Structure 1
Amino acid sequence: MLSIFDGLRDVSILSITIRMLLAVACGGIIGIEREYKRRPAGFRTHILICLGAAMTTLTSQYLYLHMHYFTDMARLGAQVVAGIGFIGAGTIIVTRRQRVKGLTTAAGLWASAIIGLALGGGFYEGGIFATLLILAAELFFSKLEYRMLDHAPEINLYMEYTNKNCLEAVLRLFRELNLKILNLEITRSAGSEKHNACAIFSLRLNKKCKVEKLLADIHTIEGVATVEEL
C-alpha cells in the first residue's frame, strides 16, 4: 500500500471529502469516453453511480464506527453490486436486426460502482488503478478488438431481399466461394411491398475470402435491398 494514503484511511471530514471527490473524478473519467461515443450512459451517469457507491461504503463505515450498529459492513456494498444490474440492463438493447448494443456501457457502469465502493472504503490505490485500466480497455483495447474481428474466421451477416430467387443466388454465391453456413434464420415478408424479407447468416470464412469483398459481391445480386455485418 502507498504510504501517502495512510492518513486518509480513517473516516474523517478530510478523508470523506477526498473519497467523494475521487469517486466523482474516476466516474467522470470513465463516463467521458462513453459520452464521446454517444452511449446511453455517459458522463453524469457514471459520476452518479460511482459517487453513490462510494457513499454506500462510507455509510456502512459510519454506522459501524460511529453509530455502533454492529452489523455486517459489507451488506450495503453487496446490494450495490447486485442492484447495479438493473441500471446496466437498461443500456442494453437488441436492435431490429438482432444486433446487441450496450454491453460495454453496462459493464462500465458495473465497474464504476465497484470503483466507488473501493474509494468509499479507503482503498485508493485499487480505485485509481482500476479507473486507469478501464479507461485503457475502452480507449486502446477496442482497437485491438476491431483488428481481431477483421481476421475472425466466423461472421454474421444481416440481409434484406425482395424475392426467393435472390436468396437462392446468395446461397449459390456462398457455395462458389466455399463458405460454410453455420446457421441461417429467415423472416418471410408479410406480403406488403414496404416490407422486405430478411435473413441472418452465420458463416465460416476461408483465408482467401475478405468480408468487404463478400459484402460487395452480395450487393451486386439483383434483389438484395441491404446487407451488413452484425
Structure 2
Amino acid sequence: MLHVFDAFRDISTLSVGIRLLMAVLCGGVIGLEREYKRRPAGFRTHILICLGASVTTLTSHYLLLYMECYTDVGRLGAQVIAGIGFIGAGCILVTRNRRVRGLTTAAGLWSAAIIGLAIGAGFYEGAIYATLLVLLAEMVLTKLKYLLWRDTPEINLYLECTQNACLDQLMQDLRMEGVKILDLEITRATACEQGTACALLTLQLHKQYDMDQLLREISDCQGVMSVEQF
C-alpha cells in the first residue's frame, strides 16, 4: 500500500471530498477515450457512474460507523455491480449486418462502477491501477487487435448484391481464386432493401493473400453494392 493515502482512509470530511473528486477524475479519464471515439456513453456518463458507485460505498460505511446499522457493508456495492448491467446493455447495439457494437463501452461502464466502489472504500491504489489498465486496454490494445485482424487468414464479410445471380457468380469467382467459403448465410429479405440479396460470409484466405486486395476485388465485381468486414 502507498502510505501517502493513509491519512485519507478514515471517513472524514476531507477524505470524502478527496474520494469524490478522485471518482470524478478516474471516471472522466476513462470517459474521455470513449468520448473521443464518439461512443454512446462518453465523458459525463462515466463520471456519473463512477461517482455514484463511490457514494454508494461511502454510504455503506457511514451507516455502519456512524448510524450503527450493523449490516453487510458490501451489500449496496453488490447491487451496483448487478444493476450497472442495465445501463451497459443499453450501449450494446446490433447493426443491420448483425455487427455487435458497444461491448467495449458497456465493459468500460462496468469497470468505472467497480473503480468507484474501490475509491469509496478508500482503496486508492487499486482504483488508480485499474484506471490505468482500463486506458491501456482501450487505447493501446486496440491497435494490437487490428494487427491481429490483419494477419488472420479468416474474415467475416457482410455483402449486398443487386440479385441472387450476382451472389452465385461471386461465390464461383472466390473458389477459383482459392478462397475457401467456410460459412454462408443468406439474411432475411426484411434486412435488405427490396430487390437486393444480402449475405454473411466467413472466408479462409491464404496467408499471402492481401485482405485489402480481396475487399477491393469484391467491391469491383459487377452487381456488388457494398461489402464490409465485421
Matched position secondary structure for 1:159? strand
Q: Distance in 1 between matches of 2:75 and 2:177?
A: 58
Counterpart residue type for residue 46 of structure 1: H
Q: Deviations over 1:176-208 (max 9, x none)?
A: 122222211113657x98541101101122112
**In the TM superposition, what are the counterparts of 1:99-138 in structure 2 within 5 Å?**
99-138=99-138
Q: Which residue number in structure 2 is paired with residue 185 of structure 1?
A: 185
Q: Which residue number in structure 1 is paired with residue 24 of structure 2?
A: 24
Q: Distance in 1 between matches of 2:195 and 2:83?
A: 40
Report which stretch shifted further, 22-31 or 174-183: 174-183
Q: Which residue number in structure 2 is paired with residue 72 of structure 1?
A: 72
Q: Deviations over 1:141-171 (max 9, x none)?
A: 1111111111112111011011222111111
**In the TM superposition, what are the counterparts of 1:213-228 in structure 2 within 5 Å?**
213-228=213-228
Q: Distance in 2 between matches of 1:45 and 1:164?
A: 45
**In the TM superposition, what are the counterparts of 1:89-104 in structure 2 within 5 Å?**
89-104=89-104
Q: Distance in 1 between matches of 2:17 and 2:165?
A: 68
Q: Distance in 2 between matches of 1:17 and 1:172?
A: 67
Query: 1:53 touches 1:80 (CA, 8 Å); kept in 2?
Result: yes
Q: Distance in 1 between matches of 2:187 and 2:88?
A: 30
Q: Distance in 1 between matches of 2:46 and 2:23?
A: 10
Q: Which residue number in structure 2 is paired with residue 201 of structure 1?
A: 201
Q: Distance in 2 between matches of 1:195 and 1:54?
A: 54
Counterpart residue type for residue 100 of structure 2: V
Q: Distance in 2 between matches of 1:45 and 1:160?
A: 36
Q: CA deviation at 1:214?
A: 0.8
Q: Distance in 1 between matches of 2:109 and 2:100?
A: 17
Q: Distance in 2 between matches of 1:105 and 1:37?
A: 10
Percent of counterpart pairs with the same letter? 60
Q: Distance in 2 between matches of 1:148 and 1:39?
A: 23
Q: CA deviation at 1:225?
A: 0.9
Q: Deviations over 1:55-104 (max 9, x none)?
A: 00000000011111111110100111111000000000000111110011
Per the normalisation by structure 2, the TM-score is: 0.96
Q: CA deviation at 1:215?
A: 1.1
Hey, which bits of structure 1, 4+ residues long, moved more than 2 A? 187-190, 192-195
Query: 1:160 touches 1:227 (CA, 8 Å); kept in 2?
Result: yes
Q: Distance in 2 between matches of 1:46 and 1:188?
A: 37
Report which stretch shifted further, 170-179 or 68-77: 170-179
Q: Distance in 2 between matches of 1:14 and 1:132?
A: 25
| Gaps in structure 1 of 5+ consecutive residues | none
Report which stretch shifted further, 195-204 or 20-29: 195-204
Per the normalisation by structure 1, the TM-score is: 0.96
